Structure 1
């Protein structure tokens, strides 16, 4: 193993730098990242510039073990996938003085955009009202790179790009990943995606074949199931509790896997949403994640860690009308309070992590990234080059201007802390409404620690028509009764990992992020009204002791 470098180049700007010591074990702080960037040349940022995430990491990782290889799981499609031969030539576009008569890259002269301006929040002033009154206007020009005004501009972003994404934004997400997760193996990296659903689709194409079975929570993201099934991959639901997946249930299932009875080889893929799980809102504790990882090591399972809600972890819930828990006092405290990711525990390179800006910036951006071992990233990038071709350059430019040039890593963490506190308030509103309006002898719940969803269990066996009516019929009748009362909640059965399994529990999913506080309160009041009517219960009493509802 090569010794760590004694020095590194510290960027003063993106084109100049000085050298500074590089202590191997010293963590990089959010406000040090820009200063520690390696010196770059303008050609690195040009049109369709190839980029390798490894070059954007700020610490040496050579003291860590290398990832395992996953050749034994690769699909035939992944094994024969070739790079886009035309994009191989793009690396020469950065050569000084070169005249390109090769690639089919249209001249930006014919892009009908001269300037893009965006009004965004100033750091620490994130509300809609503050942004409207005192927001900052950031601008991208057409030829900012050529004119040395910026390293990313319209002429570059709006042209063709690489499947790995624009180098400028790839550098930012690599730095962010290193700051937050610091994967404990050597050859990790990031590549851009057009969102986590596309990322899941491509990973399944790489690591599965028709007839395979993928493990997941027994209630899971419906689109994940719908993504897998057309590829011939069935989903097997694993038992859960309030903290999500039960590692012992996975161990038992895999230790006793019967190929003939199950109709498929032993599963080698686990799809999980560890934080604020959709639909249940469950969050795996640190201990639960470590136990889960050990089980996956034991049975050689690759973990697809889908984490759109990771930064929607909230303050502890201390009960109705309890005083607010103060926000984190610093970036370091904020990051320390996050439940560690599976990626941060991954010594084998068996975690493929899917990240996205959808829940923390904008779903319509359609920009995310994948973190995995170098072997798997290379295959992913080859696939992207001949399919999605990476996220839209317009979206990447907008995000980069906001996250890198305007906020920086410090400002982004400030934004995430703002989101944490805002979601905490919304979560508390729905929980207080549930305490006030729902019949607790029929409806029960666990306060969510993260995410967007509140998962409510219904004791359907107390329904007056049970057992003459089946669970599915009762669920349908409750759902329609809630609709009649003017509220929409989602049926738990829509989230079965395997609809053919027998289910003897009933849930409904509500979200606390789509409506303002007063409408959340009213929506839960109507839900409670509907449940009471369906179960033949007395209406609840208001503060004056008078019956309300029905």
Structure 2
């Protein structure tokens, strides 16, 4: 096979050169696999991620910095599973194993498992979130049967089957699905350092829990946006780890605020050392919906370099990036011609991982918002030494995602859709969620009093962040009610009206601080457009009722 095309040549010695190959593309994935030979990965197979990602594509890149000095005593004490280390010998030809405590797959009561899934590309040809004219729940999207058998590998039908997937595995997950994750990461992000790696997670919350155990001890602090994902705080709190909020605006965390927090860190006042972990949701942030533009990410990364931070990039909403909202010309997002795969990837705001020349980013990818949260399967991309340490933790705790889940995802993403089909699916759901965003923004403009409630259209994700101007409340002006009391009154009145929005105070990184601003988080992810509109109408009624004002369209639909 001819070598990949080169973009330029750099001197290696006085008499030789080496080429820098183009980044991985959809067209070159098949060529790389062909050059690597058939994937052979049996029960509890060890993963050589360097082989999966292609060594020649990254040889010119710098190596990651080491984070081993940051590992906790607990992490350093984890030596891994001695029994699983013996699994590498299972591939020895002719070996009869009486060693591992593996149950016989002969007694697995599953001969085959199957499901129906959209035909690759079919979701882009047919629109309809809530069903078609004939009442089909799939909106007319063409479906296909996908089946996995117990002995598909032995019969040459697939690289993965029930016998292998339903058996004990390694903490890093099955090589068959891990290869897809590695290729996807390189295709989308192309990390700019050499020794990056991937390992599977049991979802991002579990991954965050494990990273805290690897890097923090009681009394430590983690940096985050001033409003952040509550489960992250609630994971850290029992470990004695606290969150330090960093100022943000409509574009997410502010680099200058991050620098100020770190530069002025008072160990005595804070009761803990200067933090080195930054937890951030850069795209469609939960709860604010903010998306950090490229310039902001570069500025934050520069602060991370200055203070030697490790960035935990939690990105469940990354592929739900949307076109700018234009109320004067709403786009028909579900029927317009989708962009090419190349154009789609080019329109995404580059990730922190794609900017990371140092190896100071741990990226958490998830299927929770783009396939199904119940899969409890995702992956971590980070320096190889960090991924290896993570897999050691997993070997003696979660043991990796469910084998059944891994097999279903493999059959969907590898055997059925492929990388191109997955991008088609992402384009489809991005269009569907964009239509829901348009619905909630139109409802906000129609039903919410603009002098009392303001908002910024989200550029990604599933959330609309609403600011209530509590300082205009008569009781606040008279000094009789605080912001938190007004927030509570609106929340309860809204429930009385028959709808639920989350209080902004529940998302504060530093919950012990006094509430100074009133926000509410609405999600446009699950409810159909008609219910979204009605819920926002009811919220408008609740706000006006608490403020003691009337007017507008709050009575429409009564």
Task: Tell whether the structures are fold-level matches, with TM greater than 0.5.
Answer: yes
Which is further off, 317-326 or 453-462? 317-326
Within 5 Å, give how 1:154-169 maps onto structure 2: 154-169=162-177
TM-score for both structures, normalised by structure 2:
0.92
Structure 2: distance between partners of 1:43 and 1:535: 65
The answer to whether the 8 Å contact 1:220/1:495 transfers is yes
Alpha-carbon RMSD across the aligned residues, in angstroms, is: 1.9
Deviation at 1:492?
A: 0.4
2:7 aligned partner:
none
Within 5 Å, give how 1:53-452 maps onto structure 2: 53-58=49-54, 60-126=57-123, 129=136, 130=138, 134-324=142-332, 328-452=338-462
Structure 2: distance between partners of 1:470 and 1:177: 47
Deviation at 1:70?
A: 1.0
Q: CA distance change for structure 1 residues 140 and 331 in 2, over 3 Å: closer, same or farther?
A: same
Deviation at 1:62?
A: 1.1
The answer to whether the 8 Å contact 2:221/2:243 transfers is yes
Q: CA distance change for structure 1 residues 32 and 131 in 2, over 3 Å: closer, same or farther?
A: farther
- SS, match of residue 24 in structure 1: strand
Q: Is 1:44 matched with 2:44?
A: no
- SS, match of residue 257 in structure 2: helix
Structure 1: distance between partners of 2:327 and 2:141: 35
Deviation at 1:7?
A: 4.5
Which is further off, 124-133 or 69-78? 124-133
The answer to whether the 8 Å contact 1:184/1:344 transfers is yes
The answer to whether the 8 Å contact 1:320/1:431 transfers is no
1:461 aligned partner:
471
Deviation at 1:322?
A: 3.3
Deviation at 1:29?
A: 1.8
Structure 1: distance between partners of 2:539 and 2:28: 49
Which is further off, 95-104 or 27-36? 27-36
Which is further off, 282-291 or 31-40? 31-40
Deviation at 1:293?
A: 0.2
1:19 aligned partner:
none
Structure 2: distance between partners of 1:329 and 1:470: 49
The answer to whether the 8 Å contact 1:195/1:367 transfers is yes
Deviation at 1:117?
A: 1.3
Structure 2: distance between partners of 1:219 and 1:132: 40
Structure 1: distance between partners of 2:315 and 2:152: 34
1:517 aligned partner:
529
Structure 2: distance between partners of 1:38 and 1:289: 37
- SS, match of residue 450 in structure 2: coil
Deviation at 1:45?
A: 1.7
Deviation at 1:504?
A: 1.0
Q: CA distance change for structure 1 residues 43 and 54 in 2, over 3 Å: closer, same or farther?
A: closer
Deviation at 1:169?
A: 0.4
- Equivalent pairs, count: 529
1:35 aligned partner:
31
Which is further off, 495-504 or 22-31? 22-31
1:14 aligned partner:
none
Q: CA distance change for structure 1 residues 6 and 121 in 2, over 3 Å: closer, same or farther?
A: closer
Q: CA distance change for structure 1 residues 131 and 113 in 2, over 3 Å: closer, same or farther?
A: farther
Structure 2: distance between partners of 1:413 and 1:488: 33
The answer to whether the 8 Å contact 1:184/1:346 transfers is yes
Structure 2: distance between partners of 1:57 and 1:131: 37
Deviation at 1:39?
A: 5.5
Deviations 1:164-203 (CA, angstroms, capped at 9, x unpaired) = 0000000000000000000010100100000000000111
Structure 1: distance between partners of 2:339 and 2:141: 26
Deviations 1:284-308 (CA, angstroms, capped at 9, x unpaired) = 0000000000000000110000000
Q: CA distance change for structure 1 residues 481 and 327 in 2, over 3 Å: closer, same or farther?
A: farther
Q: CA distance change for structure 1 residues 25 and 536 in 2, over 3 Å: closer, same or farther?
A: same
Could you tell me which runs of 5 or more consecutive residues in structure 1 were left unpaired when the two chains were aligned. Answer: 9-21
